[in-house]
Copies of this chain bind each other. A is one copy, B any other.
Amino acid sequence: MADLSLNGIPVEDTFAEAFDVAGTAIVVTNDTAKWAMIAATVMTGFATSVIGCGAEAGIDAELSPEETPDGRPGVRILLFGFEPNGLKEQLLKRVGQCILTCPGTACYAGVEGPTKIKLGGAIRYFGDGFAVAKRLADAQGRVRRYWRIPVMDGEFLCEDSTRAVDGAVGGGNLLFLGRKHADTLKVAEIAVEAARGVPGAILPFPGGVVRSGSKVGGRTKGMMASTNDAYCPTLKGRAGSALPPECGVVLEIVIDALTSAGVAESMRAALHAATEVGASHGLVAVTAGNYGGNLGRHHYHLRDLLTKPGAA
C-alpha cells in the first residue's frame, strides 16, 4: 500500500487533513511542581475531541521556576475549540472548576495573539466584589493586569486575560499499522513522546494515542461518525479493508498545535521516531487519515515529512 519509506518502514504517499481551530494557552504555577501538575491534569481531562468534550486540551510543557512569571514551578496548557466563542467558554469553565479550586495555583496568559480572552477579568466575579485589580510590569517591561481573588487559602492570582492565536490547527495525525499490540503501542508511545517535544503541540487523547478511528457516517442507525471498519483488524476479511494481511493492530496519534508549522514538525518528529524503532517492533507501515481533501484546509503530506526534524 505504500510508495515511500523511512528507516525501512513503508510510508503511504498520502496526507493528514486538518482543520482551522481556535487555540489558546495558559500557564499554571504552584508552590510545587507536583501541585501544578495536579491542577493541569484535571483541567485537561475529558478533552479529547471538540465535538464530544467541548474542547481539546493537553499539557504542552512543564516549566521551571525560571520560565514562569512568578518564579514558581509551572505547566503550560494548550486549549483548542471550534471557534473563538466556544474556546472562551471552555477556558473559563475549566479554569473556574480546576484551577481556581486548586490550592496554591496562580494562572497566567500562556501565549501572545491578536484576540483577547478574558480570564481573571471574568473569574473575578467569583470574588463577590472583594477581588482587586493589580498592574505589574513583566520581565519585558510591559504592564500586565492581574486580579487577586480572595479564596480560603489566600488569594487566587489570575491574569486579566490571555490571548487566542491566529492559525491554530487541529487534527494532524499518523496511523501506525503494526503486527502485535504491545509492540505497536510501544511505537506509538515513542511517537507521542517525540510529537509532544515540539513546542506548541499537544496530543489530546489518553496517553496521546487513539484506537477508535472513525469514518464519516455509517451504514445504519443515524450515526454521523462510526468505526472506521476499513482499519479494523477483526474486519480484515471483508471487502473494503485497507489493511495488509500481516497487520494485526492500528494505532493513531492526533496532534493539535498553535501553528500549522507546529503540526507539521510534530508529525515529522513522530514519523521519524516511530520508524526508527519500527523494524524492531514489527511496524508494518505508516499512513495518515483524511477526508479526501475537501473538508480541512490543511494537508500534511507524509512525503514532505521524510526529511529529518531540524534538517530544513
Show the binding face of A for B, using Cβ within 8 Å: 19-23, 31, 35, 38-39, 41-49, 51-53, 81-85, 87, 89, 92-94, 96-98, 100-104, 115, 122-123, 125-130, 149-156, 164-168, 175, 181-182, 184-185, 188, 205-207, 209-229, 231-235, 248-252, 291-292, 294-297
In the complex, which of the residues B97, B115, B126, B222 contacts A48, with contact meaning CB atoms closer than 8 Å?
B97
| Consensus secondary structure, chain A interface | mixed
Is B130 in contact with A227, judged by CB distance below 8 angstroms? yes
> Most chain-B CB neighbours within 10 Å: which of A182, A214, A222, A233?
A222
- How far does the Cβ of A285 sit from chain B's closest Cβ, in whole Å? 13
Chosen A-B contacts, 7 in total, with CB atoms closer than 8 Å, are A46-B93, A51-B51, A85-B96, A126-B225, A128-B223, A152-B212, A156-B211
Which residues of chain B are near A22, meaning CB under 8 Å? 221-223
Is A103 in contact with B251, judged by CB distance below 8 angstroms? yes
The 7 closest A-B pairs by CB, nearest first: A45-B45, A22-B222, A128-B226, A152-B250, A153-B211, A292-B294, A150-B232
Which residues of chain B are near A45, meaning CB under 8 Å? 41-47, 98
Distance A232 CA – B94 CA, assembled complex (angstroms): 22
**With A152-B211, A153-B250 in contact, do A223 and B126 touch (Cβ < 8 Å)?**
yes
Closest residue of chain B to A293 (Cβ to Cβ) is B294
Is B211 in contact with A20, judged by CB distance below 8 angstroms? no
- How far does the Cβ of A172 sit from chain B's closest Cβ, in whole Å? 15
Is A52 in contact with B96, judged by CB distance below 8 angstroms? yes
- How far does the Cβ of A274 sit from chain B's closest Cβ, in whole Å? 14
- How far does the Cβ of A259 sit from chain B's closest Cβ, in whole Å? 11
Is A102 in contact with B205, judged by CB distance below 8 angstroms? yes
Distance A19 CA – B233 CA, assembled complex (angstroms): 27
Is A125 in contact with B47, judged by CB distance below 8 angstroms? no
Distance A41 CA – B156 CA, assembled complex (angstroms): 25
Closest residue of chain B to A182 (Cβ to Cβ) is B31
- How far does the Cβ of A62 sit from chain B's closest Cβ, in whole Å? 16
Is A252 in contact with B220, judged by CB distance below 8 angstroms? no
- How far does the Cβ of A40 sit from chain B's closest Cβ, in whole Å? 9
- How far does the Cβ of A59 sit from chain B's closest Cβ, in whole Å? 11
**With A128-B227, A152-B252, A292-B292 in contact, do A115 and B221 touch (Cβ < 8 Å)?**
yes
